[in-house]
Structure 1
Amino acid sequence: MAKRTHVHLPDCWIFDRAVIKWQRKTFVIVGIMDLRSRKLLAWELLRPLKPKPTAAVLEKAHLMYGHPPALVVGIDKVFKSPDVQATCNQAEIQPVDIRHGKVSISIFIRSVWRSLEWEGLSWRELPDEPTFRQVVNDWIVFYNSDRPHQALGYAVPDEEWRTVRYKIDQ
């Protein structure tokens, strides 16, 4: 049996959210990830989760990186809100759901959020919310530009994004 790699995954973006707790406060991180390169294209740390800022994450990714090959959305009701739907309609994006039973392709982006909590937040004493937000931002920049990924053959998402996009666009 041939070894499968990240290039065998569907060419899509994942749009999902996760809860992050910090100092008895609950934040929701909403983000979009390119599945093949594992690059986080856009994200926002929200408190509370609201449709307009969630839609703004999609709009930002679309403006910066173009039209997604496919957009897989999370199952949260915020992704079905009129604001997110209007952004999808305006950008001519048709969200898809490729869940199989209880398993979802969203597991890939959720593992990023778990890594953020473990690597970026769990071992630090953060004195205030601006510092907390800066640590989250710094970790995501590190994740995209410097953190090697075993699934990518120890490449980093930024490099893989350029390589994968170049091959697909030819």
Structure 2
Amino acid sequence: MIARLKADYPVFYLCQKLGVSTSGYYEWEGRDHSPRAQRRSSLTARVLGKFAASCQASGYRKVTAALHRDGIAVNRKTVASIMAELGLIPLAAVAAFKTANQRSSRTADPVDLVDRVFAQTTPGAFLVGDITYVHTGEGWLYVATVIDLASRMVLGHASGKRQTAQLVIRALRRAIATGNVPPGAVFHSDHGSQYRARSFARFCGKRGILRSMGARMQCWDNAVAESFFSKLKNERLTWLSFPSRQTAIAEVADYIDHYNHHRPHQTLGYATPAETLTRLTSPDPEAAAIPAAA
């Protein structure tokens, strides 16, 4: 109406009489009022409605399909363009972007320095580690181990009610305390968050230990650590129940002592890990032939 009468009356007068703002009228006047623009405006409202009805979960393909079900002929490119203009992004896509962004900003994981070559001859030069869990009456108990590939001896282990970076640090600290981990040793693990933690990386770096990780979702890349946990559970823990974490901790420690000093290991020619470590570290062949004390 204002457009028709503005030739005869001032715009501000017409706006005042009709109860609209002058700035609002000029904004409206500047818009494209062609049939194409009106269809675009109508589609925009419908796209927004379908996106909201999906609880912000639908992408442009699903929004297009929803419009087709309502008998509205529109192609996917138009819907995608409208959604881009409105900034309508499905929540799943937002979450995926955040995850990808976090991964891209994260320090790259170490490369595989073991490459499934588990037969080593230098004690302490290549270590493998992993975490397992034990059910108790007080909840889960998590156990971290550090195993020497040359002797297959469990050099260090730690237990706790949470699987944190500090748990694996304690296990590795105990392994180093045995004096059987030389400078430049390689520590191999999976891609668990505990082994990717900055605190664990700093701990290894300060002690000259090189970190190594196998491929993701490939248990065979850490087969020796997995094999020990299988023996621990099948030979001891599966047959027992633990009312408390403390009883489980004691049982795990007892089995590790048995494994290191009394259990013949097929890979070692049926010697024990302790006997093998003595043989590999002793400069005297005759002394090396004497089994280690239990």
TM-score surpassing 0.5? yes
Match of 1:104 in 2: 220
2:173 counterpart letter in structure 1: E
1:55 counterpart = 2:169: yes
Query: Judging changes above 3 Å, is the alpha-carbon distance between structure 1 residues 114 and 24 closer, same or farther for their aligned structure 2 residues?
Result: farther
Find 1:46's aligned residue among 120, 140, 160: 160
In structure 1, how many angstroms separate the alpha carbons of the residues matched to 2:169 and 2:276? 26
Q: CA deviation at 1:74?
A: 2.2
What is the TM-score when the length of structure 1 is the normalising length?
0.82
1:79 counterpart letter in structure 2: Y
Larger gyration radius, structure 1 or structure 2: 2
In structure 1, how many angstroms separate the alpha carbons of the residues matched to 2:192 and 2:216? 17
Q: CA deviation at 1:98?
A: 4.6
In structure 2, how many angstroms separate the alpha carbons of the residues matched to 1:160 and 1:18? 25
Runs of 4+ with >6 A deviation: none
- The 10-residue stretch of structure 1 (60-69 or 130-139) with the greater mean CA deviation from structure 2: 60-69
1:158 counterpart = 2:243: no
1:27 counterpart = 2:145: no
Q: CA deviation at 1:107?
A: 1.2
Match of 1:80 in 2: 196
- The 10-residue stretch of structure 1 (83-92 or 56-65) with the greater mean CA deviation from structure 2: 56-65
Match of 1:117 in 2: 233
CA contact 2:135–2:242 (8 Å) conserved in 1:
no
Find 1:135's aligned residue among 231, 251, 257: 251
In structure 2, how many angstroms separate the alpha carbons of the residues matched to 1:101 and 1:110? 13
CA contact 1:6–1:152 (8 Å) conserved in 2:
no
In structure 2, how many angstroms separate the alpha carbons of the residues matched to 1:8 and 1:85? 26
Query: Judging changes above 3 Å, is the alpha-carbon distance between structure 1 residues 19 and 129 closer, same or farther for their aligned structure 2 residues?
Result: closer
What is the TM-score when the length of structure 2 is the normalising length?
0.50
CA contact 1:29–1:45 (8 Å) conserved in 2:
yes
- The 10-residue stretch of structure 1 (33-42 or 158-167) with the greater mean CA deviation from structure 2: 158-167
Identity %: 20
Match of 1:92 in 2: 208
Q: CA deviation at 1:100?
A: 9.3
Report the count of equivalent residues: 163
2:152 counterpart letter in structure 1: R
The structure showing larger relative contact order (alpha-carbon pairs under 8 Å, at least 6 residues apart) is: 1
Q: CA deviation at 1:89?
A: 1.1
Q: CA deviation at 1:103?
A: 5.1
CA contact 2:214–2:222 (8 Å) conserved in 1:
no
Task: Give the gaps of 5 or more residues in structure 2.
Answer: 1-117, 284-294
Deviations along 1:4-54, one digit per CA (max 9) or x if unpaired, are: x94589x51102212333347322211100112110000012211111232
In structure 2, how many angstroms separate the alpha carbons of the residues matched to 1:98 and 1:54? 17
Query: Judging changes above 3 Å, is the alpha-carbon distance between structure 1 residues 157 and 107 closer, same or farther for their aligned structure 2 residues?
Result: same
Query: Judging changes above 3 Å, is the alpha-carbon distance between structure 1 residues 107 and 20 closer, same or farther for their aligned structure 2 residues?
Result: farther
Query: Judging changes above 3 Å, is the alpha-carbon distance between structure 1 residues 107 and 12 closer, same or farther for their aligned structure 2 residues?
Result: same
- The 10-residue stretch of structure 1 (119-128 or 92-101) with the greater mean CA deviation from structure 2: 92-101
Task: Give the gaps of 5 or more residues in structure 1.
Answer: none
CA contact 2:190–2:214 (8 Å) conserved in 1:
no
Q: Which is strand-richer, 1 or 2?
A: 1
Query: Judging changes above 3 Å, is the alpha-carbon distance between structure 1 residues 126 and 31 closer, same or farther for their aligned structure 2 residues?
Result: same
